[in-house]
Amino acid sequence: MSLFVSNDVVGSLNTLAGGLFLLCAFGIVTMRQVKGCLQLFIVQSVLLAASAVLLGVLFDSWHLLAVGMVNLIAKPIVIPWILRRTLHEEIYTRREIDQVVNIPTSLLAALALVILSYFLTLPLLQDAGAEIRGVNVPIGFAGLFLGAFTLAVRREAVPLLIGVLAMENGAFFAGIAIARDLPFIVELAIASDGLILVFVVGVLTRAIHKHVGSTDVGALAALKEGSGEEPGS
């Protein structure tokens, strides 16, 4: 399939996609608006799909091309659609959101996580053919860690959900390079699982908004040891 461009060019494009993917993960940690978070997640998902397609060209694998297509439909199109249906006002009313730690500190911590993931994945890349995996695996791990970090520093429901989705993006970004023969049916099932995830969390967020009055889930901190009890249930 590599008739038009050389493998080097495809490899470089994949590296570019990886770099931008990582940049998006940083943005999701620090973005000040709910809508901005969502848009960055969409861009990140497109980059994930692009990397899958590029690797598909590189390895002559129709399977990876199909994975890229599934990702391109499920994440940048269907997930925002579900969110718009369930949580419109949460996202599209212009709102500033806060973090538990300030932005420079969280950027530094995020940077440390990226370096950590690079060293953690070094032992996985010892054998032959590691050039491509050398891009995708450390960046995928970093995406996973940065998503988890987003969960730690965010307090609002929608950015937290996006943190979970960004973690899955990270897992897949590594996955397309190391597990590229995974049965296609499994990929489809995982993608539809992601849609159920967004739907359920969306409905739960709406219930919280309705019964608690805000989606600042970080402020929900009544349940701990020694606290009084609430009647009911």
Choose the binding region for other proteins from 11-19, 33-41, 93-101, 203-211 (rule: CB under 8 A): 203-211
Q: Is 1 in the site for other proteins (CB under 8 A)?
A: no
Q: Is 186 in the site for other proteins (CB under 8 A)?
A: yes
Q: Is 232 in the site for other proteins (CB under 8 A)?
A: yes
Taking CB under 8 A as the criterion, the residue among 20, 23, 82, 124 binding other proteins is 124
* H helix count then E strand count, the chain: 8, 0
x/- string (CB under 8 A) for other proteins, residues 125-164? -xx------------xx--x--xx--x-----x--x--xx
79 with 85: CB under 8 angstroms?
no
Q: Is 204 in the site for other proteins (CB under 8 A)?
A: yes
CA-CA distance, 146 to 119, in Å (whole number)?
15
CA-CA distance, 144 to 73, in Å (whole number)?
21
Size of the site for other proteins (CB under 8 A): 55
Q: Among 230, 218, 219, 209, which residue's Cα sits nearest to residue 87?
A: 209
Q: Name residues contacting other proteins, limited to 21-40 (CB under 8 A).
A: none
Q: Is 168 in the site for other proteins (CB under 8 A)?
A: yes
The string of DSSP codes covering 42-105 is HHHHHHHHHHHHHHHHHHT-HHHHHHHHHHHHIIIIIHHHHHHHHHHHHHHS--B--BSS-HHH
Burial (CB count <10 Å: 0-12, 13-18, 19+), residue 35: middle
Q: Is 100 in the site for other proteins (CB under 8 A)?
A: no
In angstroms, give the least distance from the CB of 171 to other proteins.
4
Choose the binding region for other proteins from 24-32, 72-80, 86-94, 222-230 (rule: CB under 8 A): 222-230
Task: Encode 74-90: b = buried (16+ Cβ within 10 Å), e = exposed.
Answer: bbbeebbebbeebbeeb
Task: Using the minimum distance from each CB to other proteins, give the nearer residue, 18 or 140.
Answer: 140
Q: Is 202 in the site for other proteins (CB under 8 A)?
A: no
Q: Among 125, 131, 111, 109, which residue's Cα sits nearest to residue 10?
A: 131
Per-residue DSSP letter, 2? T
Applying CB under 8 A, which residues contact other proteins? 120, 123-124, 126-127, 140-141, 144, 147-148, 151, 157, 160, 163-164, 167-168, 170-172, 174-175, 178-179, 181-183, 186, 189-190, 193, 196-197, 200-201, 203-204, 207-208, 210-212, 217, 220-223, 225-226, 228-233
